[in-house]
Amino acid sequence: MKRFLTVVAAVAMIACNRNRLGPQPTEASHETRVSGQADARLPAYGAPQSYADVVDRVSPAVVTIRSARRVRAPQQFPFSDDPFFRRFFGDRLPNSPRGGGSNIERGLGSGVIVNATGDILTNHHVVDGAEQITVEMPNRKTYSAKLVGSDAPSDLAVLKIEASSLPTLSLGDSDQVRVGDVCLAIGNPLGIGETVTAGIVSAKSRATGLSDGSFEDFLQTDAAINQGNSGGALVNTNGELIGINSQILSTTGGNIGIGFAIPSNMAKTVMAQLTKGGKVHRGQLGVAIQPVTSDIAANLGLKEVRGVLVSGVTPGSPADRAGLKTGDVITAINAQPTNGSNELRNRVASTAPGTEVTLTVIRNGKEQAVKAVLGELTPEAARNQQSGSGPGDGGGGQLGLSVQPMTPDDAAQLGLPRNTSGLLIDSVDPSGPAAEAGIQSGDVIVEVNRQTVRSAADLQSGLKKSGAQPALLLINRGGHTIFVTVRPR
């Protein structure tokens, strides 16, 4: 009887411990995890002990890219070719060879094989200006690569090697990636050889401003990324490519856990165009835009802080022809909400020129639909997107600045059209509200609270409309307009 009670107690203790540990995997689920699909699916009781199955499957498709170009060596003695100096020094002068010297500049990066016939995705900056490109496989076999096409705004490039039956990585849907998802970064950091690091997706839709910045929409990750990882793969635990590693933010030059990858959906669109014609065609709307802040929302009478504010419309552009106006708030494109300037810019750019889009716009507190046919973005248009009766107070005392009416000569000195109107800011009190809002001397006030201003009286009248809310100023700076909110004294 005593032995029986001991057995019962032991069984009860085991059952208690199993309940404390949570549900246990069945034999069937264990077999699916280790011998079925190599996707590191998480069993009910916690994280996998290894991502080796995923790595074994995807790493053969990640390659090392070496580039080389010849650059002219700087002349240490600038007068080495001057006959006067050569009379005295002859060939003893530094850099005396008349032909001039040159050096070989070498670059290192990574790439991803995306089809079995040799197309490889990498970064534009890895191969920019390269005269010779070599692809090294994980088994150390090398190929000479040809540049199919390169796109600086997205920092993507496509290479081609003459090979067949290559291992490939399938492109996943980066729109479905969630912050907190586990991800693996694979590449050749610092040239030490293929390396795998693990982390999570830390954020989405990031813009760093470290590169061209035109169409940044990065996935951010804390998986270790270093020099040489550029162009390598960011994969999910299903072994799908979700991003092309591109940049890091660092105070040291090395990894501090803030890395960025170009989303696979953007890479897919750019790659298709580069492969087809060697060039990327992007849609253009022709507006300058900025985020909607809480102060701007309050001033415009918006119930929510959402959408993007149109701070300028290019004359003759698709936006101008569609009837968009400065001060409109765009809240959606083709019924998909948009809350960030970068988000709207990327959506327009990824749409083919000539496509009709429907914009949801709030104007004077009322929502309406505006249809526009997109033009094609040019380099010049891309840059534009980034984008009293004499001296004295002139009614700007409440803002901490002094203004004067704009004259044609003032406009010419500022590089603006001579018919530019508004109030020219002469000076800004460093401790005043205008300086705090980022307003500078040389800026031109075009509107105050949606009222056009050409005189001190206009400025004072416009400021009275603010009431307890900040004043909304439309500023012309160097030919580009932007809305600024200022709380008058």
**pLDDT: is 46 or 39 the higher one?**
46
Q: Which amino acid would we find at residue 87?
A: R
342 pLDDT above the threshold of 90? no
Q: With the CA atoms of 120, 262, 40 and 164 taken in that order, what torsion angle do they form, in degrees rounded to the nearest 10?
A: -10
Q: Give the pLDDT of residue 129.
A: 87
CATH 2.40.10.10 fits 61-160, yes or no: yes
Q: Is 230 labeled as catalytic in the residue annotation? A: yes
Helix (H) and strand (E) counts in the chain: 13, 27
Sequence-separated (6 or more) residues with CB below 8 Å from residue 272: none
**pLDDT tens digits, 420-459:** 889 999 888 887 888 888 999 899 999 999 889 888 778 8
How far apart (Å, rounded) are the C-alpha atoms in residues 106 and 99?
22
How far apart (Å, rounded) are the C-alpha atoms in residues 13 and 3?
16
How far apart (Å, rounded) are the C-alpha atoms in residues 412 and 420?
9
- Here the tokens at position 395 are 């009614």
**pLDDT: is 485 or 406 the higher one?**
485
Q: Give the pLDDT of residue 414.
A: 87
DSSP 122: E
**pLDDT tens digits, 43-96:** 445 667 899 999 999 999 999 999 998 765 554 444 445 554 444 444 544 554
**pLDDT tens digits, 364-391:** 889 999 999 999 987 655 544 444 333 3
Q: Give the pLDDT of residue 46.
A: 60
Contact criterion met (CB below 8 Å) for 235 and 183: yes
Nearest to 111 by CA among 194, 28, 233, 20: 233
Q: Is 119 labeled as catalytic in the residue annotation? A: no
Determine which one of 174, 230, 246, 466 is catalytic.
Answer: 230
How far apart (Å, rounded) are the C-alpha atoms in residues 43 and 326?
54
Give every strand in the sheet of 132-136, ordered side by side. 142-144, 132-136, 62-72, 102-113, 119-122, 156-160, 146-151
**pLDDT tens digits, 210-260:** 555 467 789 999 999 998 999 999 999 999 999 999 998 877 778 889 999
**pLDDT: is 467 or 267 the higher one?**
267
How far apart (Å, rounded) are the C-alpha atoms in residues 382 and 343?
15
Nearest to 292 by CA among 237, 343, 339: 339
Q: Compute φ and ψ for 431, nearest 5 degrees.
A: -105, 10
Q: Give the pLDDT of residue 391.
A: 35
Q: Give the pLDDT of residue 382.
A: 56
Residue spans per domain, the chain: 61-160, 174-277, 283-378, 388-486
CATH 3.30.530.20 fits 388-486, yes or no: no
- Residue 479: CB atoms within 10 Å: 14
**pLDDT: is 125 or 213 the higher one?**
125
Determine which one of 125, 154, 311, 458 is catalytic.
Answer: 125
Q: Give the pLDDT of residue 209.
A: 64
102 pLDDT above the threshold of 80? no
Q: Is 427 labeled as catalytic in the residue annotation? A: no
Segment holding 105, helix H or strand E = strand 102-113
Topology alike, domains 61-160 and 174-277: yes
Q: 358: pLDDT confidence band, cut at 50, 70 and 90?
A: very high
Mean pLDDT value across residues 110-137: 94
pTM for the predicted model, two decimal places: 0.65
Nearest to 377 by CA among 485, 247, 279, 488: 279
Mean pLDDT value across residues 159-174: 95
Percent of the chain with pLDDT over 70: 79
Determine which one of 155, 217, 295, 328 is catalytic.
Answer: 155
Q: Give the pLDDT of residue 11.
A: 45
Residue 252, Cβ density class (10 Å: 0-12 exposed, 13-18 middle, ≥19 buried): exposed
**pLDDT: is 198 or 76 the higher one?**
198
Q: Which amino acid would we find at residue 371?
A: K
How far apart (Å, rounded) are the C-alpha atoms in residues 454 and 423?
6
- Here the tokens at position 127 are 């191969």
Of the candidate CATH numbers 3.40.640.10, 3.10.20.30, 3.30.70.1230, 2.40.10.10, the domain formed by 174-277 belongs to 2.40.10.10
What are residue 110's DSSP bridge partners?
64
402 pLDDT above the threshold of 60? yes
Percent of the chain with pLDDT over 90: 46
Q: Give the pLDDT of residue 412.
A: 84
Q: Give the pLDDT of residue 419.
A: 85
Residue 429, Cβ density class (10 Å: 0-12 exposed, 13-18 middle, ≥19 buried): middle
Residue 212, Cβ density class (10 Å: 0-12 exposed, 13-18 middle, ≥19 buried): middle
| C-beta pairs of 322-327 under 8 Å, 24+ apart in sequence | 322/359, 322/370, 322/371, 322/372, 322/373, 323/370, 324/285, 324/287, 324/359, 324/361, 324/370, 324/372, 325/363, 326/447, 326/474, 326/481, 327/300, 327/363, 327/450, 327/474, 327/483
**pLDDT tens digits, 130-166:** 999 999 999 999 999 999 999 988 999 999 999 999 9
Q: CA angle, corner 128, sides to 172 and 186, nearest 5?
A: 35
Q: 464: pLDDT confidence band, cut at 50, 70 and 90?
A: confident
- Here the tokens at position 177 are 């990636």
Of the candidate CATH numbers 2.30.42.10, 2.60.120.700, 3.40.50.720, 1.10.1060.10, the domain formed by 283-378 belongs to 2.30.42.10
Q: 489: pLDDT confidence band, cut at 50, 70 and 90?
A: low
Q: Give the pLDDT of residue 18.
A: 46
Q: 407: pLDDT confidence band, cut at 50, 70 and 90?
A: confident
How far apart (Å, rounded) are the C-alpha atoms in residues 240 and 405?
60
